């Protein structure tokens, strides 16, 4: 599919077809900047607004109304073709998948004592709060509202303060589609105000959050201290890829780099720890450097671009600090490691080899275009080191042996294991983490349980048959 749309396996555009996307010089009209409640647009109760910026140019796009206790590429800086073919396409597939579930959510009749009949019913949880991140604002919006709505709930969505525009535009589409007032409400704002209000509110029955582990802990604490609302958390990751000597080497190079550099590395699923068997280690590093040189860093509205800017200055500085720590702690900088241009938010795709498990770049979530390559000797060593992280979101195994693939995947402590692929996400497949990567599942049939209450109804028969 990607190749048909002009994107090669390694993410480099080839023969890009003419598409209805905006050109870099076009000025985009921002129509929706207010709070969306009960199908109406409202100003902030305190009259406050906050700016949102284009991270590629630093230009302020508009002022957005800030909720208090109460256009994807422009907003995020990701390359347009990725927004068009992956984020938008994934959003549509998610909506269609859960639309299909809406009339198929039902209970069971249970065999019990012959004097009784027991039935189960699946009922809506109630009001669901959804707090979504800035790295995939449209896709995460759909991941949250689609299962919630299919189960009959209402939703209050807080988009990230860095990227509120997509969610607000979807609000206009929700009204146009004829949703009843109050079914979906959108409250842009900041975590300590709008986000905290959702987590603490006594009339919100469930919160779904995607973001950092630290904030996830605060949300779970607030839920416990308020009304014990349900909480599902999709949090950070320090995700291992294990590359065995019997793998398809070029495939492993391309897939692990797709995992490391996709969306400027700003993914909870980022392939940030690549463990390579010693006998192929040097060749893997050499090919990785060659592959990274094909990445085009530039204007995200240019169809030739495959890597855009980081989301903001704070994130940029964090990434550069971790790159410097890698150098100081003894990792070998093989490629990149520098900013692109003065006062910009662009960072070169960066590769470190000879990385050791104690280094900061080996333990901390970088959330930037940095690939860390380790070596290992035995399968057991690789498994133990892969599992040594506090996180457990995703992992990958590259091998031609199905026996090895299945045995290693069984041993890895992650919610998802990809075999000979990376970032293979589907609306039908559950997604979530072990350990400090969160709890609960999004996507697939499994997500429906997060948005439903199960009621048991037991009936005493007057006569036995």
More reliable by pLDDT, 38 or 176: 176
**How large is the average pLDDT for residues 209-236?**
95
The rounded mean pLDDT for the chain is 85
More reliable by pLDDT, 164 or 392: 392
Output the pLDDT for position 341.
78
More reliable by pLDDT, 165 or 276: 276
Together in a domain, 180 and 68: yes
Output the pLDDT for position 43.
62
Q: Is the pLDDT of residue 3 over 70?
A: no
Could you tell me the CATH number of the domain that includes residue 69? 3.40.605.10
* 250-264 tens-digit pLDDT: 999 999 999 999 998
In angstroms, how far is CA 146 from the centroid of its own chain? Answer: 15
Do residues 176 and 199 lie in contact, with contact meaning Cβ atoms separated by under 8 Å?
A: no
Together in a domain, 56 and 136: yes
Output the pLDDT for position 15.
36
Together in a domain, 197 and 110: yes
Domain that holds residue 221: 35-235
Question: Is position 386 within any domain?
Answer: yes
**Cα dihedral sign for 365, 270, 136, 448?**
negative
- Does the annotation mark 221 as catalytic? no
* Residue whose entry in the numeric block shows the structure tokens 């146009």: 176
**How far, in Å, CA of 182 to CA of 157, rounded?**
12
Q: Is the pLDDT of residue 449 over 70?
A: yes
Output the pLDDT for position 465.
54
| pTM exceeds 0.85 | no
Confidence of residue 102 (pLDDT cuts 50, 70, 90): very high
**How large is the average pLDDT for residues 449-463?**
93
Q: Is the pLDDT of residue 129 over 80?
A: yes
Together in a domain, 119 and 160: yes
Question: Is position 453 within any domain?
Answer: no
* 423-439 tens-digit pLDDT: 999 999 999 999 999 99
Q: Is the pLDDT of residue 406 over 60?
A: yes
* Residue whose entry in the numeric block shows the structure tokens 């209050």: 156
Angle at 60 between CA 58 and CA 63, to 5 degrees: 150
Catalytic residue among 234, 365, 413, 442: 234
Range of 38-42, 61-65, 79-83, 457-461 with top mean pLDDT: 457-461
Question: Is position 439 within any domain?
Answer: no
Together in a domain, 201 and 73: yes
Question: Is position 345 within any domain?
Answer: yes
Together in a domain, 64 and 151: yes
Confidence of residue 304 (pLDDT cuts 50, 70, 90): confident
* 23-61 tens-digit pLDDT: 444 445 555 545 656 666 556 556 565 555 555 555 555
Report the number of distinct structural domains present in the chain. Answer: 2
Together in a domain, 174 and 319: no
Question: Is position 361 within any domain?
Answer: yes
Classify each residue of 437-454 as buried b or exposed e, where b means 16 or more C-beta atoms within 10 Å of its C-beta. Answer: bbbbbbbbeebbebbbee
Together in a domain, 66 and 210: yes
Kindly state the tokens that stand for 114.
Answer: 């012959």
**How large is the average pLDDT for residues 82-104?**
88
**How large is the average pLDDT for residues 326-343?**
91
Question: Is position 41 within any domain?
Answer: yes
Confidence of residue 303 (pLDDT cuts 50, 70, 90): confident
Together in a domain, 219 and 277: no
């Amino acid at each position: 599919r990607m190749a048909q749309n002009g994107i090669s396996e390694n993410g480099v555009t080839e023969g890009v077809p003419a598409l209805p996307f905006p050109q870099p010089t076009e000025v985009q009209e921002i129509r929706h900047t207010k709070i969306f409640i009960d199908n109406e647009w409202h100003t902030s109760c305190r009259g406050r607004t906050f700016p949102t910026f284009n991270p590629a140019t630093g230009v302020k796009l508009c002022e957005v109304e800030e909720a208090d206790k109460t256009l994807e590429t422009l907003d995020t800086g990701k390359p347009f073709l990725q927004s068009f073919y992956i984020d938008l396409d994934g959003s549509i597939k998610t909506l269609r998948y859960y639309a299909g579930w809406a009339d198929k959510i039902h209970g069971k009749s249970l065999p019990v004592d012959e004097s009784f009949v027991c039935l189960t019913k699946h009922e809506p949880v109630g009001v669901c709060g959804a707090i979504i991140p800035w790295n995939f604002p449209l896709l995460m919006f759909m991941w949250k509202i689609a299962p919630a709505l299919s189960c009959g709930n209402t939703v209050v969505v807080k988009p990230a303060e860095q990227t509120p525009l997509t969610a607000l535009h979807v609000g206009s589409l929700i009204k146009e589609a004829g949703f009843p007032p109050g079914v979906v409400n959108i409250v842009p704002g900041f975590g300590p105000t709008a986000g905290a209000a959702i987590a603490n509110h006594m009339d919100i029955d469930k919160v779904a959050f995607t973001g950092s582990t630290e904030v996830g802990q605060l949300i779970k604490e607030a839920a416990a201290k308020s009304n014990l609302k349900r909480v599902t958390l999709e949090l950070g990751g320090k995700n291992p890829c294990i590359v065995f000597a019997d793998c398809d080497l070029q495939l492993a190079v391309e897939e692990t780099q797709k995992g490391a550099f996709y969306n400027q590395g700003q993914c909870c699923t980022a392939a940030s720890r690549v463990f390579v068997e010693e006998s192929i280690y040097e060749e893997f590093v050499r090919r990785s450097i060659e592959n990274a040189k094909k990445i085009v860093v530039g204007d995200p509205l240019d169809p030739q671009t495959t890597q855009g800017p980081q989301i903001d200055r704070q994130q940029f500085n964090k990434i550069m600090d971790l790159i410097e720590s890698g150098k100081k702690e003894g990792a070998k900088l093989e490629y990149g490691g520098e900013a692109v241009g003065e006062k910009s938010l662009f960072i070169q795709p960066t590769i470190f080899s000879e990385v050791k498990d104690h280094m900061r770049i080996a333990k901390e979530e970088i959330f930037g275009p940095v690939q860390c390559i380790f070596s290992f000797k035995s399968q057991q060593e690789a498994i133990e080191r892969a599992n040594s992280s506090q996180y457990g979101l995703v992992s990958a195994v590259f091998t031609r042996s199905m026996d090895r693939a299945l045995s290693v995947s069984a041993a890895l402590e992650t919610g998802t294991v990809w075999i000979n692929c990376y970032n293979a996400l589907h609306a039908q497949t559950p997604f979530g983490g072990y350990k400090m990567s969160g709890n609960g599942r999004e996507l697939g049939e499994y997500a429906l349980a997060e948005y439903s209450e199960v009621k048991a109804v037991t009936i005493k028969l007057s006569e036995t048959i």
